[in-house]
Chain A
Amino acid sequence: MSKLVLKNVAKRYGAFEAVSGFSLELAKGEFVSLLGPSGCGKTTTLRMIAGFMPPTDGTIEMDGRQISSPSGVVPPENRRMSMIFQSYAIWPNMTVGENVGFGLQVRKMSRAEIDRRVDAILDVVQMRNLKGRYPAELSGGQQQRVALARAIVVEPEVLLLDEPLSNLDANLREEMRFEIRRLHDEFKITTVYVTHDQSEAMVTSDRIVVMNKGRIEQVDAPHVLYSRPRSRFVAGFIGRTNFLEAAQQGSDVRFDGFSAPAAALEGTTGGGALLYSLRPQAIGLASQRPSGAGLSVEGEIAGRSYLGEYWDYQVRPLAGAKPLRVSTSPNAVFEVGRRVWLEIDPAAMVRVE
C-alpha cells in the first residue's frame, strides 16, 4: 500500500493557481524530490502535506486515511510527520540536546528514554559532543545536523524537507546531500524533499517530481529524467541541452545543417515540426570522420570554454547556422575555427513537447 497519496491536489489564491492537479503516490520508504524553479508550487505542496494549509481542491491520504481535504485538515501536530525548514528553525533558547529531545518530550516519553534516544541520534549525526551547546555557538552545518537529528529522532511517518541546504556554502551543501541520503538509507523514512537544485535532487532521490507553474511536468528516477526528458521544460531544467528544431520530409528528418533517417529517431510518426533535445555529452567530437554507426556531421569550432572538468565547445555544422554545444574530456583540445566532425547517436536524441 502507498504511504502517502496526493489526489488532484490544488491550491488557489484568488485567481492565482499556486498548485493544480497534483497527483502523486509515495511508496513506504521512498525518497521523492519536488524539483522546480522558485514559485513553481513545490513549497506550497510540501506545506499542504505538512498540514500547514488546506488544499482548495483534492485530498491527501496517509496510510489510507484522509488527512487533508478542502473541508478540513488534521493539524500538523497530529500528523506524526516531521519537517526540516529552510532556516533550520533550531530554537535558540534550547540546547542541542533539548532541541533534539523536544519531539520526544511532547510524546511524553520518560526522561531516561529521551536521553537514550537523543544520544543515539546525536551519535548518528556526529554531534554527541555538542549536546549541551546552544545553537548560536554552532556552525551552519552543525545546525543542519541538529535539525536532521531533531526531525529523525521522533521516527516520523513522513519526513519533509524544505530546501534544507540552500543556506549552506557550496562545499558543505555537497557534503550534506550525501549525509541526507545516508540517513535515509539507514532509517528508510518516507521522505519528500523540496529543492530547486537539480544535483541535490539527483543525489538524494529515488524519484524526482519536476514541477513548473504549479503543475507536474514529469515524475521519474533521476537517470530517466536526464536521459529521457518528456518536455522542453524538463530537458532545459535538468542539465544542459541542445534543442534542435526539425521537420520531417518523407523518410528523412531535416535538422539545421544535417539530417537523419526518420526510422532511427523516436517520435517521427506524425510528421510536421519536431523538437529534439540532445545532451552535449551525447555528441562526440573528432578530427577525422568517425567510422561509427551514428550520424557524422562536419562542423567548425565557433567558440569554446574550459571548465576544468570538461571542455564546452560550440560547434557550428558547416551547412547550418546555429552552433551546437558539445562537452568533451579536458584532453580533447581543438582550436577555434578548426574543422571537426560531430558524431551523433540518433538514439540519444529525445523528442520533447
Chain B
Amino acid sequence: MAVAAPAIDTVLARPQRASTFDATWLLWIAIILVLLFLVVSPFVYLVLTSFQAERTGEFTFANYATAYGRARYVDALFNSLKLGAVSAALAGVFAVPLAWAVARTNMPGRGLTRMLVLATFITPPYTGAVAWILLAGPNAGWLNRFYMLVTGAEAGPLNIYSFTGLAVVIALYSFPYIFIFTTAALELVSSEMEDAANILGAGSWRTMRRVTLPLALPAILGGLIICFLEAIALFGSPAMIAIPARFNVVTTQLYQFFGNPVRVEVAAAYAMPLLGVTVLLVLVQRLITRRKGFVSLTGKGGERRPILLGRWRWVMFGYAMFVASLAVFLPYIFLIQSAFAKAWGRGFLLDNITIANFRFILFEHSTAAQSVINSFLYAGVSATVAVFLTLGVAYIVVRRLVPFGGGLAFLCVAPFVIPGVVLAIGFYAAYAPPPLALYGTALILILAFTTRFLPVGYVNASAAINSLNPEMEEAVRVLGGSRLTALRRVVAPLLKRNLLGAWLLIFIPATRELSAAIFLYGPNTKVASVMIFDMSEEGNFERLAALALVLQVLTLPLLWLGQKALGRDFMLRRNAT
C-alpha cells in the first residue's frame, strides 16, 4: 500500500439538529435588509411622497393637480415620448446596418467599426451633446461655418438647439445598445439556417428578408425599446440643448421642480408617468426577446460564413465611417481643438493653442479636480459594494440556499426599470429628511449609484455562478472543507475575471453618471459630470472640453484592463447592458 496509515484527526460530529439554521440565514437576512434599504424604501417613499402635502405630510392629490395642471408640464411629457420615438428610430437607422455588416458580412474594417462603436458607447451623452453644440450651434458651429465658407451663404443650415438636433444627438450616443442586441442575435443565426433557405430557392436578398432579419427582429425591437427608454430618462443632453431651445422634456421639467424651492412632492407626482412607461416597456421588451426567435437561437449557432457583399462592401464601409464621423471623429476632433484652444471659435491657429484649460481645471479651479476624484471614488465604492452584494445574492439564489431566492433576485434587477432621475427623487424623498439627513453627503450618491447599477452586477454575477458547476464546491465539502472554504479557495478564484468585468461594467458608467447625481450632490460632493454640466451652463466650452477629455482619458486604462481580462468586446456584450 502506497499511502501510510490514516492520521486523520477530524472527529465525526454528532448529528446537528441546528443544521436548519446556519450562517447563510444571517447572511440572507442581512442581504434582505440592504436590498430593502437600497431598492424598496426609495421606491416606497417616492410613491408616498407624491401623495403628501408639503411640510404637513397630509394625504393629498394636490401634487398631481399641480404636476399636471399646466399645459406646458403636460407638453413636456409628450415631448419626451416624441423624443424617445424619434431618437430610437434614428438610432435604429444608425445601428442595424452596422450590426448586420459587422456580424454577417465581409465588409472591410469590421474590427475598426466595433472599436468605434465602443468609443461611442463610452462617450457620455452629455459630452457628445457639448461636442455637437460646437459642431452645429447656429452660426458659430463648425459645420455651419464650413457650409457658409463653401457656399457663401449668410447662415448655416444646422441648429442644434432644436428638437431634431436633440433627437440626433441622443440617437448618436444610444445606438450602441441596438448594435449590441442585434449583433448578439445575428451571431446566433447559423449559416445553415440561411443555407436551408437558399437550397429551397431563396436568393440572398430574400433570405435576409425572410430568415435572417425575422430571427434578429426581437433583438432589434428590444434594442429600440432600450434606446427609447434611454432617451426619455436622459437628463444631460436635454438640459444642455432643450432648455436653450425653449422646450421641456420630463427630465428637465423635473429638474425645475427641484430648483429653488425644492418641490419634491410635485416632482414625485410628476415622475410617475416616466416610471410607468419604463416599467411597461421593459415588460414588453422582455416579452419580445423571450418569445420566438431568441429561444430557438440559444445554444450553438453552428457554422457562420460571412455574406460576400462584392462591391457593396465599400458602400457599407462608407456608411459605417459616416456614422462614426458623426459620433466619434467630428465630436472628438473639435472637443480636442476646444480643450487646447484659448477661444474655440478662433479655430486651428497655432497662436490659439494653449494648455491653460487643463492647468485651470486640474490645479486652479477650486473643485474641478476634486470632482474627478469624487467621481472615481464614489464609482469605485459603488461598484465594489454592488459587485459583492449581487454576488452574494446570486450565490444564494443560484444554489437555492434559501426559500424565496427569486424575490431577492427580483429586487436586484428591479432598479433597471427606475430611471436615474426617478431613483434620485426616491432617494431624496427617503433619505434627505431626518433622521438620516443624507442629502449632500457622499453616502447618498454612493448608495444611489449602487442601486442604479445593481442590475448590471446581478446579471453578471448570476451568469458567472451559473457557469460554475456546483460539483466544484461539493468536491471541497466532501473532502472536509466548509462552504466558506469552498467560496474562498474555489469560487472566488474562478470568478476573479467575471467579478473584475462586472466591476468595470459598473465603475465605468458610474464615473459619468449625471441623471441621479444632479439631484443629490452637495457643495462638497460635486462629481465630474455635474461639473461639466455646470460649465456648459456657463458657456465655458474650452475648460469643459478639457475636463471631459480628462474623464475620457482616465477611462482608457480601465478599458484596457477589461479587454485584457475579458476579451476585446467585453463592454459590447449583451449582459453589459
Contacts and interface: CB of A to CB of B under 8 A. Distances in A.
Contacts of B7: 109, 113
A305 B6 CA distance: 54
Interface stretch (B284-292, B356-364, B476-484, B517-525): B476-484
Given A85-B471, A87-B471, A75 B12 contact: no
B190 to A, nearest CB: 26
A103 B479 contact: yes
B13 interface: yes
Interface stretch (A65-73, A296-304, A329-337): A65-73
Interface stretch (A25-33, A115-123, A173-181, A252-260): A115-123
Contact of A52 (B9, B15, B474): B474
Contacts of A67: 12, 15
A111 interface: no
Given A91-B490, A106-B479, 13 more contacts: A50-B478, A62-B12, A65-B12, A66-B15, A76-B477, A77-B476, A80-B12, A82-B478, A83-B474, A85-B474, A102-B476, A106-B485, A117-B4
A91 B472 contact: yes
B200 interface: no
Interface of B: 1-4, 6-10, 12-19, 469, 471-472, 474-482, 485, 489-490, 493-494
A187 B475 CA distance: 21
Given A107-B10, A117-B4, A120-B3, A154 B15 contact: no
A73 B16 contact: yes
A155 B481 CA distance: 15
Contact of B471 (A72, A81, A89): A89
Contacts of A153: 3
A319 interface: no
Given A80-B10, A103-B479, A121-B2, A72 B16 contact: yes
A77 B482 contact: yes
Contacts of A68: 15
A92 B494 contact: yes
Contacts of A113: 7
Nearest to B15: A72
Nearest to A81: B478
A71 B18 CA distance: 9
A79 interface: yes
A65 B494 CA distance: 37
A80 B8 contact: yes
List 6 tightest A-B contacts by C-beta distance, closest first.
A103-B479, A89-B471, A89-B475, A85-B471, A93-B493, A120-B2
Contacts of A87: 469, 471
A136 to B, nearest CB: 12
B478 A78 contact: no
A83 B478 contact: yes
A76 B13 CA distance: 11
A152 B3 CA distance: 9
Contacts of A89: 469, 471-472, 474-475
A78 B482 CA distance: 9
23 contacts: A50-B478, A52-B474, A73-B19, A76-B477, A78-B13, A79-B478, A80-B10, A80-B480, A81-B478, A82-B479, A83-B474, A89-B472, A102-B476, A103-B480, A106-B480, A107-B480, A117-B4, A120-B3, A121-B2, A124-B2, A151-B479, A154-B480, A186-B1
A151 B479 CA distance: 8
Contacts of A151: 479
Interface string A8-52: 000000000000000000000000000000000000000000101
A150 interface: yes
Interface of A: 50, 52, 62-63, 65-69, 71-83, 85-87, 89, 91-93, 102-103, 106-109, 113, 117, 120-121, 123-124, 150-155, 160, 186-187
B182 to A, nearest CB: 33
Contacts of A109: 7
Contact of A102 (B471, B481, B493): B481
A240 B477 CA distance: 40
A102 B479 contact: yes
Contacts of A93: 490, 493-494
A121 B17 contact: no
B476 A79 contact: no
A113 to B, nearest CB: 8
B481 A117 contact: no
Chain A contact surface mostly: mixed
A76 B494 contact: no
B2 A91 contact: no
Contacts, number: 119
A7 B326 CA distance: 75
Nearest to B472: A89
Contacts of B15: 66-69, 71-74
A65 B10 CA distance: 15
B497 to A, nearest CB: 11
Given A74-B15, A75-B16, A102-B479, A154 B471 contact: no
B400 to A, nearest CB: 11
A107 B15 CA distance: 20
A62 B13 CA distance: 12
Nearest to A160: B478
A50 B489 CA distance: 21
B475 A154 contact: no
Contact of B2 (A75, A79, A123): A123
B33 to A, nearest CB: 27
A127 B6 CA distance: 22
Contact of A155 (B3, B13, B19, B469): B3
Nearest to A109: B7
Nearest to A157: B12
A85 B13 contact: no
A194 to B, nearest CB: 13
Given A52-B474, A72-B19, A78 B10 contact: yes
B470 to A, nearest CB: 9
A209 B472 CA distance: 27
Contacts of B6: 155
Nearest to A152: B3
B495 to A, nearest CB: 10
B17 A72 contact: yes
A81 to B, nearest CB: 6
Nearest to B481: A106
A307 B471 CA distance: 39
A82 B477 CA distance: 9
A78 B8 CA distance: 12
A12 B18 CA distance: 21
A68 B472 CA distance: 23
Contacts of B480: 77-78, 80, 103, 106-107, 154
Contacts of B17: 71-72
Contacts of A150: 475, 479
A93 to B, nearest CB: 4
A303 to B, nearest CB: 38
A77 B1 contact: no
Contact of B475 (A66, A75, A85): A85
Contacts of B482: 75, 77
A93 B487 CA distance: 13
Contacts of B490: 91, 93
B300 to A, nearest CB: 18
Nearest to A91: B490
Interface centre among B2, B7, B13, B481 (most CB of A within 10 A): B2
A154 B13 contact: no
Interface centre among B18, B471, B480 (most CB of A within 10 A): B480
A52 B3 CA distance: 28
Contacts of B469: 87, 89
Nearest to A99: B475
Nearest to B496: A93
A295 B1 CA distance: 52
Contacts of A52: 474, 477
A123 B494 CA distance: 28
Contact of A154 (B16, B474, B479): B479
Contacts of A77: 476-482
